[in-house]
Amino acid sequence: MLRVDRRYLAQGQVSVITETSRVNHALPLMSCGRALGNADIRIVDPETGIECGAGRTGEIWVAGDGRAMGDWHKPEASRATFGARLVGNTEHRKPFLRTGDIGFLDDGELYVCGRLKDMIVIRGQNIYQSVRIVRYWLRAGARKYPDALSD
């Protein structure tokens, strides 16, 4: 698990917080693990198709033998979602699946921040609705069951 600074995350950047005492802007995120087999995970700017650098969030794209070929009888949607290509990258020729998820890689571990469709931008800040909803329910549960979240 990593704790990231939610203020940087709102700007599309990743800033890991190592000391969380007296820090109220730390957001805990669980790793989804590492890519297995020949799976290739990239973090990509969803608007440009350019791979994001380290410390940036973007859309999660996946290539490899486990990638589906497309949606049944939906060739146009399939090309856009299942046949994505990295812009400016000639070394990787296999098509990627655009997951629609926003996340980042840290030391080879994948972290998911939310869904692209659920993200709204308010005054230049990326707001991930799924994170806000989970946080709401955790707080509501903590009020109802105060001992449930104790260490």
- Is 149 within the bounds of a domain? no
- Is 65 within the bounds of a domain? yes
pLDDT of residue 149: 44
pLDDT of residue 65: 86
Residue 109, strand partner residues: 106
pLDDT of residue 82: 86
pLDDT of residue 110: 95
pLDDT of residue 62: 93
pLDDT of residue 81: 82
E strands in the chain: 2-5, 26-29, 31-33, 40-44, 58-63, 97-106, 109-115, 119-122, 125-128
pLDDT of residue 129: 56
- Is 62 within the bounds of a domain? yes
- Is 10 within the bounds of a domain? yes
CATH code, 29 = 2.30.38.10
- Is 97 within the bounds of a domain? yes
- Is 150 within the bounds of a domain? no
pLDDT of residue 148: 45
Name residues of the chain where pLDDT drops below 70.
Answer: 20-22, 117-151
- Is 26 within the bounds of a domain? yes
pLDDT of residue 126: 61
**C-alpha closest to that of 102 among 4, 12, 21, 20:** 12
- Is 19 within the bounds of a domain? yes
Residue 118 to residue 140: CA distance in whole angstroms: 21
12, two tokens: 């599309």
Residue 128 to residue 138: CA distance in whole angstroms: 16
pTM of the model: 0.75
pLDDT of residue 125: 61
What range defines the domain where residue 8 resides? 2-144
**C-alpha closest to that of 59 among 115, 107, 8:** 115
Whether residue 42 contacts residue 64, with contact meaning beta carbons closer than 8 Å, is answered with: no
How many structural domains comprise the chain?
A: 1
**C-alpha closest to that of 57 among 46, 77, 40, 43:** 43
